[in-house]
Amino acid sequence: MWTYYPDLLATPVPRYTSYPTAAEFAGIDNALYRDALRTAHGEISLYVHIPFCEEICFYCGCNTSRANRRQRLESYLAALHAEIASVARELPADIRVGRVAFGGGSPNAISPDEFRMLYAGLEQHFSLNDPVLSIELDPRTMTEEWAQTVGALGITRASLGVQTFAGHCQQAIGRVQSENCIVQSVDWLRDAGVTSLNFDLMYGLPGQSLHDLEDSLQRTRVLGADRIALFGYAHVPHIVPRQRVIDDSDLPGQRQRFAMAELGYAYLATHGYAPVGFDHFARPGKDPLAKAAFEGTLRRNFQGFTEDQSDILIGLGASAISNFPQLLAQNEKNSGRYRMLASQNHLTASRGVVRSADDRYRGAVIEQLLCRGRAQLGACLMREVSERLKPFIERGLASVDRQWLAILPEGLPYARSIAALFDAYRAPSMQQFSSAV
Ligand code: SF4
């Protein structure tokens, strides 16, 4: 049973899929990105961004646009092929790729043929080392041919954007999808050999009740999801203008959101799922994410919680972010500028941040707190946060034993708020971030 402390959740906090966060990104010299590629070593991971969707959902904060303009889509894919070649050219010859994730947008907004060609481009330019392949899919546009393509390429991990099964919530967020189309997608993907199937679900949606949430969790479980990501909807219309369509007065308040997060945790933890970090759940003994959480090897990157151990993730496509130990670099967000740069065989990273030694140290502490629930602190950092930690310790949400800070089970909903104590960049106003629950 969690206790609601509104004062500890009053400040919006980042999700910390990186540290420094994307809010700290500024213009960078492209040469920094080139140097990071040239000095890469070990096994790396790739993320390929396909920023198109058949229909745009009102709530979506992703960099994506409608797939109905063929010419734009085709010129984007041509630019992506060119970028793949440009990036691969800069990497040392012995670099191997252990993982490729396709996300967006919705990768299945392009045709299976276009996707096969994209994969062939990756095979041509990178040394793919029997990679773990994963893909995000929109059930609304899933087809049998797409599922067969997933199977033929050996993609074993898929994530379905579901969010909610409640029809009135689907209407309110502009994402209407029948249960049939979700069931059909699951069947096709299982037949195609997908062994790890994730459902993205949301709480805090307009008009959503606790009953709606529990019903969606139950349906997800019955459909056999191996993983569930349960995110709180972040309503930030001043940053994501398309969210203005959503009526603020229909949104659950923070007290209700807290109850929803608690319900989600309690339901999944008692129905066959192991909690992974603060918003993921996976079937123990079966799914690699649950195994990583159990063994203490869980990591966090731009895709959220992951068992990927590589320190280098290269993002390909407009707005995609690359992560190197010493640098975070984001590709040009503007699709037109991205296409122009990539098609001229230029690297397209335009923003980012050089990670100082202090950034890396604090980033490691934040990652350990969020992934493992504990972190070892140096004396300076301990002194720096001790006053601000007190409210969490006094309420039994965290504990300190010599140099070790631990988030206690009751402190899980406050994990991001505790991690934020170590964030040297957080100014008094953090309105661009989401509620901590
Ligand atoms: S399908 Fe996904 S990426 Fe596309 S608009 Fe909807 S939420 Fe955003």
- Segment 96-113, tens digit of pLDDT: 999 999 999 999 999 999
C-beta separation of 79 from 113 below 8 A = no
Atom of ligand 1 nearest to the CA of 140: 1
Q: How far apart are CA 127 and CA 121, in angstroms?
A: 11
Q: How far apart are CA 368 and CA 361, in angstroms?
A: 11
Q: Is the pTM of this model over 0.85?
A: yes
For residue 358 the two structure tokens come to 């202090």
Ligand 1 binding pocket includes 139 (Cβ within 6 Å): no
Cα–Cα distances (Å) from 373 to 255, 383, 397, 434, in that order, read 24, 20, 11, 21
Prior bond of 20 cis (ω within 30°): yes
Which residues, 6 or more positions from 16, have their beta carbon under 8 angstroms from its beta carbon?
300, 366, 367, 370, 416, 419, 420, 423
Pick from 60-74, 129-143, 229-243, 265-279: least confident: 60-74
Q: Residue 148 CB: number of other CB atoms within 10 A?
A: 14
Element (H, E) at 152: helix 144-152
Mutate to test the pocket of ligand 1, among 52, 110, 175 (most ligand atoms within 8 A of CB): 175
* pLDDT number for residue 434: 67
Cα–Cα distances (Å) from 335 to 33, 200, 223, 233, 274, in that order, read 19, 26, 37, 26, 39
Atom of ligand 1 nearest to the CA of 174: 6
Confidence of residue 427 (pLDDT cuts 50, 70, 90): low
Alpha carbon of residue 273 to chain centroid: 19
Interval 337-357: pLDDT, tens: 999 999 999 999 999 999 999
By CB atoms closer than 10 A (0-12, 13-18, 19+), residue 244 is: exposed
Nearest CA to ligand 1 atom 3: 105
Element (H, E) at 339: helix 335-343
Pick from 25-34, 175-184, 340-349, 426-435: least confident: 426-435
Element (H, E) at 196: strand 196-203
Distance 242 CA to ligand 1 centre (A): 12
* pLDDT number for residue 426: 85
Nearest CA to ligand 1 atom 5: 56
Report whether pLDDT(94) > 60.
yes
Report whether pLDDT(129) > 90.
no
Atom of ligand 1 nearest to the CA of 161: 2
* pLDDT number for residue 302: 92
* Nearest residue to 83 (alpha-carbon basis) of 114, 47, 112: 47
Q: How far apart are CA 423 and CA 437, in angstroms?
A: 18
Distance 146 CA to ligand 1 centre (A): 18
For residue 49 the two structure tokens come to 């961004």
Prior bond of 105 cis (ω within 30°): yes
* pLDDT number for residue 433: 63
Average pLDDT over residues 288-301: 96
Q: Residue 172 CB: number of other CB atoms within 10 A?
A: 21
Report whether pLDDT(155) > 50.
yes
Report whether pLDDT(208) > 90.
yes
Portion of the chain with pLDDT greater than 90, in percent:
92
Report whether pLDDT(429) > 70.
no
Q: Are strands 304-306 and 313-316 parallel, antiparallel or unpaired?
A: unpaired
Report whether pLDDT(233) > 70.
yes
Atom of ligand 1 nearest to the CA of 163: 7
Type of residue numbered 240: V
Element (H, E) at 50: strand 43-50
Q: How far apart are CA 302 and CA 296, in angstroms?
A: 19
Which residues, 6 or more positions from 334, have their beta carbon under 8 angstroms from its beta carbon?
318
Type of residue numbered 269: A
Pick from 194-203, 387-396, 426-435: least confident: 426-435
* Nearest residue to 54 (alpha-carbon basis) of 1, 108, 103, 129: 108
Distance 180 CA to ligand 1 centre (A): 19
Q: How far apart are CA 151 and CA 166, in angstroms?
A: 30
* pLDDT number for residue 430: 45
DSSP-derived 3-state class of residue 244: helix
**229 — phi, psi (to 5°)?**
-105, 120
* pLDDT number for residue 286: 80
* Nearest residue to 157 (alpha-carbon basis) of 56, 288, 275: 288
Average pLDDT over residues 139-151: 97
* pLDDT number for residue 432: 55
* Nearest residue to 400 (alpha-carbon basis) of 389, 409, 411: 389
